[in-house]
Amino acid sequence: MPRVPDQTSGTPELRLVFGADPVAIRRSLSRMLASPPLSGLGAEARGAAELVLAEILNNVAEHAYDEAGGTVEVTLRPDAGGILCQIADSGRSMPDGRLPEGKLPASSAPLQDLPEGGFGWHLIRSLCADLSYTRSEGRNLLVFLIPG
C-alpha cells in the first residue's frame, strides 16, 4: 500500500526529471545527494539512499527502456521514518507485472560460474522499506521509503 506523505514537515520535496542513461543518472544522483531532503541524512543513510536510487534508475535505463533512452521522474520528500521516494518512467512493464523477487545469486559457484549480475533487486530490497510497484496508463511507478 503506497504511503501517504507527511505534509507537516518543513523540508521541501525534490523533484527531478532526466534522461534514463548512465551519465545523466550519475549527474542526477550527485544532485539528489547534495540537496534536501537527502543532504540532511547521516552518512550511512545517504550511502544506502544513493545505492537504492542508482540500482532502480539503472534498471529503468537498462530494462524498462532497453538502453534506448526515455525520461524518468524522481520525487523525494521527507516522511515519518525516512525519505519517501517515487520513481516513474514510461518504459516497459516489470516482468509479469510485478517486482522481481531479488533472490541472491549463489556465491559458492566455481570461479567461471561466479555471478556478474543479478545483485540489484537484492540490494534494493535490503536497503529500503515499504516498496510498492504499480503499472498504470503506460507508466511504471515505484514507491518506497529510505529509512533515515
Instruction: Give me the residues that bind another protein (CB under 8 A), please.
Output: 22-23, 25-26, 43-44, 47-48, 50-51, 54-55, 58, 61-62, 104, 107-108, 111-112, 114-117, 119-120, 122-123, 126-127
Complex with another protein: residue 4 or 43, whichever CB lies closer: 43
Complex with another protein: residue 4 or 111, whichever CB lies closer: 111
* Minimum gap (Å) between residue 66 Cβ and another protein: 14
Per the rule left: phi > 0, alpha: psi between -120 and 50, beta: everything else, 115 is beta
Could you give the CA distance from residue 93 to residue 99 in angstroms, rounded to a whole number? 10
Residues 6+ apart with CB under 8 A from 119: 104, 105
* Minimum gap (Å) between residue 107 Cβ and another protein: 4
